[in-house]
A = this chain, B = another copy of it.
């Protein structure tokens, strides 16, 4: 069940090292419900539609808010890589943040309760996931070996027990599961009531469907790969923003020896989106993903690609070469991937260099 009155927060972890990125807040209850957990942190809100609409943020939150006009002003022509009228625009928040960690959450995701009835501090669990290593090179049958009460089981090579740095923590959803439109249509009443008390590493070489609803990552380790693509207004596809980011991210984390975890924490996903609208957004993606998965499964990055940026640009090249023939959209997307990296580097110049542009925004 979703909580109605969240308990006061414990000491906030990484208070000055994490930004919470939220794409548009339509639901006034959303921040109230998360207040005990989110108020200590800085929020970055990226408004996805009409810049003239006003987003109301309750008193007491420290936030900055970007609308389309801000994005255009800050990025200039490079703003073309940021989706419009789609929650994919959230990735602008990843780029403009100056923190080491990002947590992103949708405004229809509320505080869930664990089986004992206690409110789940999702952010705290994500931080724990990110601060402990991953185990991408060999499967541990007792799940996360770094958790209290767990360890590596018999037969787990000792040389691999140091693990790999964790780049991504993918959280799950109670109540409304993250289904595609066809599954929503076929199973309108299905709810996820199963609390699986596990965090696990997605093994090296294995792709997964990354959902952006409840997601945290280490910006320094993987930020430039978290591009949510071209979705929404003027694009032939929607609802593949997080998937695209997840596939690119997984190929790059595998190449760079980083880890991706999935499982805890759960949030309470309150509302199913309209399956008819979703089908319209998804139908190209449902078709294209049959080509995309083999593409990403066989994608290989050269040894020289030793930074996320270099990996991402190489992937953009491969997208153009191999997916352009699936649909012209992928040539446009490959261009946008390059623009995204240029914009990222502009807002995040290498340490020691001087920024050539600066993100200024409406701030509280």
Residues on A facing B (Cβ under 8 Å): 115, 138-143, 149-160, 170, 172, 177-180, 182-183, 187, 190-198, 202-211, 239-240, 242-243, 246, 262, 282, 286, 289-290, 293
Contact B203 A179 (CB under 8 A): no
Q: Interface SS of chain A: helix, strand, loop or mixed?
A: loop
- Distance in Å: Cβ of A274 to nearest Cβ of chain B: 14
| Extra pairs beyond A157-B289, A203-B205 (20, CB < 8 Å) | A139-B208, A143-B196, A150-B177, A150-B194, A151-B183, A151-B187, A152-B179, A153-B209, A154-B179, A155-B180, A155-B211, A155-B242, A155-B243, A155-B289, A156-B180, A157-B290, A159-B290, A194-B197, A194-B198, A203-B206
Alpha-carbon distance A152/B180, docked complex (angstroms): 9
Cβ contact of A141, chosen from B151, B172, B195, B203, cutoff 8 A: B172
B202/A139 in contact, CB under 8 A = yes
A153 touches B178 (CB 8 A): yes
- Contact check, B194 vs A196: say whether CB atoms are below 8 A apart: no
B residues near A207, Cβ cutoff 8 Å: 138-139
A173: nearest chain-B partner, CB-CB: B142
B141 in contact with A153 (CB, 8 Å): no
A154 touches B239 (CB 8 A): yes
Known: A196-B197, A203-B203. A177 touches B142 (CB 8 A): yes
Cα A289 to Cα B211 with chains together (Å): 36
Closest 6 CB pairs of A and B: A155-B209, A139-B208, A203-B206, A155-B243, A154-B180, A196-B198
Query: What B residues does A193 contact at CB under 8 A?
Result: 149
Contact assessment for B177 and A153 in the assembled complex, using a CB-CB cutoff below 8 Å? yes
Residue of B nearest to A181 (CB): B154
A212 to chain B, nearest CB (A): 11
Chain B residues near A204 (CB-CB < 8 A):
206
Question: Given A141-B170, A159-B290, A207-B139, A177 and B151 touching (CB < 8 A)?
Answer: yes
List B contacts of A206 (CB < 8 A).
138-139, 203-206
Residues of B within 8 A of A142 (CB): 172, 177, 192
Q: Which of A190, A204, A206 has the most CB of B within 10 A?
A: A206
